[in-house]
Amino acid sequence: MNVIETCELGKRYGKSWALRDCALTVPAGHLAALVGPNGAGKSTLMNMTAGLTVPTTGTAAVLGGHPAGSPAALNGIAFVAQDAPLYRNFSAGDMLHLTRNLNQQFDSGFARTRLDELGIPLNKKAGKLSGGQQSQLALTLALARRPRLLILDEPLAALDPIARQDFLAAVMTAMTDDGVSVLLSSHQVAELERVADFLIVLSRAQLQVAGEVDDLLAGHRLVSGPTAEADEYARRLTVVQARRGDAQTHLLVRTAAADPVPPGWESHPVSLEEIVMAYLRSPGLSEPAALTRVQRSQPTEATR
C-alpha cells in the first residue's frame, strides 16, 4: 500500500507556483524525510497531502487511494505543524480534553500515560512548558489519534539536541510498535540520515528526486578524473552536480554499480547528505535536460 500518491500536483498563489508537477509515491512503513530550502514547497506539499489546502492542479491520495481531505483520509492522518498547535493558556490536560472531543478516535489512556512518563504535568499550561515539552505534547496528541500516517512539518527546528533526539526516538517507537508511516520535513539533514529510509528533495517548487535511501545511495556516485575528458565522459551520464577545476573534475552522477569507469577516473560512494546538497545546489535541476550538462556548481542563496 502507498501512503502518499500524487499526480501532477501543483499549487499556485497568484502568478507564483508554490509547488508544480509533483508526481510522488511513498510506500507504507517508511519514515520519509522531506528536504528542501525555505520556499521550496515542503509545507505546501504537506498541507495538500493532509487535505488542508486544495490543489490548483493534479491530485493527491493517501492511505491506499483515499482522496486527500476525504473523511477516510482525515481519520487516518495526524498532522503536527511547524509551530506546535497548542493553546498557550490551556493546560496539558485541557489540550487532551479538547483533542478528544474534536476527533472520532482518541486514546486518552495512552496520552495520559505518555505525558506522565515524560514528566509533563496535566495541570501545567502549555505556554509554560519548555520547547521540548511542547513538541512532545503536540506529538502525544497526534499519536493518541492512532494515525496510520503521521505528518510532521519542521518539528525539530526549535529543539535542542537532546530534545531532538527524544522526539525522533518517540517517532521511531510509534513506527515500530504501531506501524505508523511518517512524513517528516526538516533541515537537519545529518540527523535525518540516521532515521530516514525514504528521501524526498524539493527545490524551486519542484520535486528533484525521491526514493528509498538505500536505492539512492546505490544509484549515485562521485566520479573524479581529468578535466580534459570530462565533457566526453559526462555525455554518457546523468550529472547531478559538477565541480570543474583546471586539472580535475568531480561529478556526482546517477549511475548503476555496474557502469564502467574510464581509465584515469575514480569512483567513490556518496553520503545521503552529499546527495541532498548536490540536488539543492545544482541550478538546472528543474529542467531535465540540464542534468546531462557539465557545469560549475555555485551555491544558491537558499543553501549559503
What pLDDT is stored for residue 283 in this prediction?
A: 60
204-245, pLDDT tens digit by residue? 999 999 999 999 999 999 999 999 988 888 888 889 999 989
Residues 35 and 160 in one domain: yes
- Evaluated on CA atoms 59, 83, 171, 36, the torsion sign reads positive
117-167, pLDDT tens digit by residue? 999 999 999 999 998 899 899 999 999 999 999 999 988 877 888 888 888
What pLDDT is stored for residue 8 in this prediction?
A: 96
50-54, 87-91, 165-169, 188-192: which range is least confident on average? 188-192
- The per-residue pLDDT of the chain, averaged, comes to 88
18-42, pLDDT tens digit by residue? 999 999 999 999 999 999 998 899 9
Q: The pTM is what?
A: 0.86
Which of 184, 214, 244 terminates a domain? The answer is 214
Residues 234 and 206 in one domain: no
Residue 214's nearest CA partner among 261, 165, 269, 176 is: 269
Residues 123 and 223 in one domain: no
Q: Which residues of 196-224 are buried (b: 16+ CB within 10 A; e: fewer)?
A: bebbbbbbbbbbbbbebbeebbebbbbbb
Residues 197 and 233 in one domain: no
Residues 24 and 157 in one domain: yes
Mean local confidence (pLDDT), 85-100: 93
- More confident call, 297 vs 222: 222
C-alpha cell at 242: 559538477
Which of 197, 214, 231 terminates a domain? The answer is 214
Residues 16 and 146 in one domain: yes
Mean local confidence (pLDDT), 275-285: 78
Does the pLDDT at position 294 exceed 70? no
- Grade residue 286 by pLDDT with cuts at 50, 70 and 90: very low
Residues 60 and 99 in one domain: yes
What pLDDT is stored for residue 82 in this prediction?
A: 75
2-13: strand order across its sheet: 16-27, 2-13, 57-62, 66-67
Does the pLDDT at position 51 exceed 70? yes
Domain containing residue 140: CATH number: 3.40.50.300
Residues 206 and 274 in one domain: no
Domain count, the chain: 2
Residues 264 and 204 in one domain: no
Residues 201 and 273 in one domain: no
Range of the domain at 295: 219-303
Residues 168 and 245 in one domain: no
Residues 145 and 225 in one domain: no
Which of 151, 183, 214 terminates a domain? The answer is 214
